[in-house]
């Protein structure tokens, strides 16, 4: 049994501060570990986390699998962009390393396959390919990915953005692939989670809608009279 078997049919909770908010008070490894522990107590099947410090703290705080990544850079391929970043995530305690597997140029001029080989040969971790299109998902599995996630759909030049999650891509991948397909990206409601499983998802990742008070509060504040007054100025 692999960690993906443990995740089957479950909700994965992403515990990450907003990347464009360096002053977010939630940006602290201890805080993220407490958030992850709360999510696990609530029934989360796994936790997704960014950065070696957060990964290590969360691994020590929960008994569920940890999907780890290391974000680096501000444009293009930022999710675990090189083999070194991937090995760092695994060494910090990630059971699974999430890696950008889109067809965009990588900062080290390497390939997704290079990162897969590094993780598989140097660590005990598995590799989750974050993709944005069906073609990228198929290529990622050919390169050795242990599972595929729709994380980057709507965030690359080759994947048009959608208002909600890309359920069509989940269905396409589930129909074509034998590895687990993880639904991720703009999941915000229980109905969307159910729809993802109906489309063939192995597990569903939800992040800001669960773990970011900053993100949640901003969305709710937009419904207040004060926000309406501010927009009218």
pLDDT in tens, 88-134: 999 999 999 999 999 999 999 999 999 999 999 999 999 999 999 99
More confident residue, 228 or 83: 83
Please give the mean pLDDT across all residues of the chain.
95
Please tell me the total count of domains within the chain. 1
Beta-bridge partners for 68: 49, 97
For residue 25, pLDDT beyond 80: yes
pLDDT band at residue 19 using 50, 70 and 90 as cut-offs? confident
Report the alpha-carbon distance of residue 80 to residue 38 in Å, rounded: 26
Confidence (pLDDT) at 216: 94
Of the listed ranges 28-37, 151-160, 187-196, 218-227, the one predicted with least confidence: 218-227
Q: Which of 157, 29, 185 is nearest to 93 (CA)?
A: 29
For the domain that residue 189 is a member of, what is the CATH number? 3.20.20.70
Whole-number CA gyration radius for the chain: 17
Report the alpha-carbon distance of residue 86 to residue 68 in Å, rounded: 9
Residue in this structure with the two tokens 């009218």, named with its chain if needed: 232
Query: What is the rounded average pLDDT of the residues 157-180?
Result: 96
Report the alpha-carbon distance of residue 229 to residue 26 in Å, rounded: 29
Find the domain containing 37 and state its range. 3-232
Q: In whole angstroms, what separates CA 13 from the centre of its chain?
A: 9
Assess contact for 211 and 14: CB atoms under 8 A: yes
Assess contact for 80 and 46: CB atoms under 8 A: no
Task: Note the pLDDT tens digit of each residue in 135-150.
Answer: 999 999 999 999 999 9
């Amino acid at each position: 049994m692999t960690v993906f078997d443990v995740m089957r049919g479950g909700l994965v909770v992403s515990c990450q501060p907003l990347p464009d908010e360096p002053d977010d008070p939630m940006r602290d490894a201890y805080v993220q570990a407490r958030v992850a522990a709360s999510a696990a107590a609530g029934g989360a099947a796994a936790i997704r986390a960014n950065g070696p410090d957060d990964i290590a703290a969360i691994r020590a705080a929960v008994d569920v699998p940890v999907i780890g990544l290391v974000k680096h850079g501000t444009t293009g391929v930022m999710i675990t962009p090189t083999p070194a970043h991937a090995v760092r995530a695994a060494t910090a305690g990630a059971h699974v390393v999430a890696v950008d597997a889109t067809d965009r140029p990588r900062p080290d001029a390497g390939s997704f396959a290079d990162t897969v080989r590094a993780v598989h040969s140097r660590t005990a971790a598995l590799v989750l390919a974050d993709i944005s299109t069906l073609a990228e998902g198929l290529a990622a599995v050919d390169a050795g990915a242990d599972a595929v996630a729709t994380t980057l759909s709507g965030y690359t030049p080759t994947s048009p953005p959608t208002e909600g999650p890309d359920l069509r891509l989940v269905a396409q991948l589930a129909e074509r692939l034998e590895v687990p397909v993880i639904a991720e990206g703009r999941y915000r409601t229980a109905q969307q989670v159910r729809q993802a499983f109906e489309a063939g998802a192995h597990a569903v990742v939800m992040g800001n809608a669960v773990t970011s008070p900053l993100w949640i509060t901003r969305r709710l504040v937009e419904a207040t009279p004060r926000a309406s007054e501010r927009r009218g100025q």
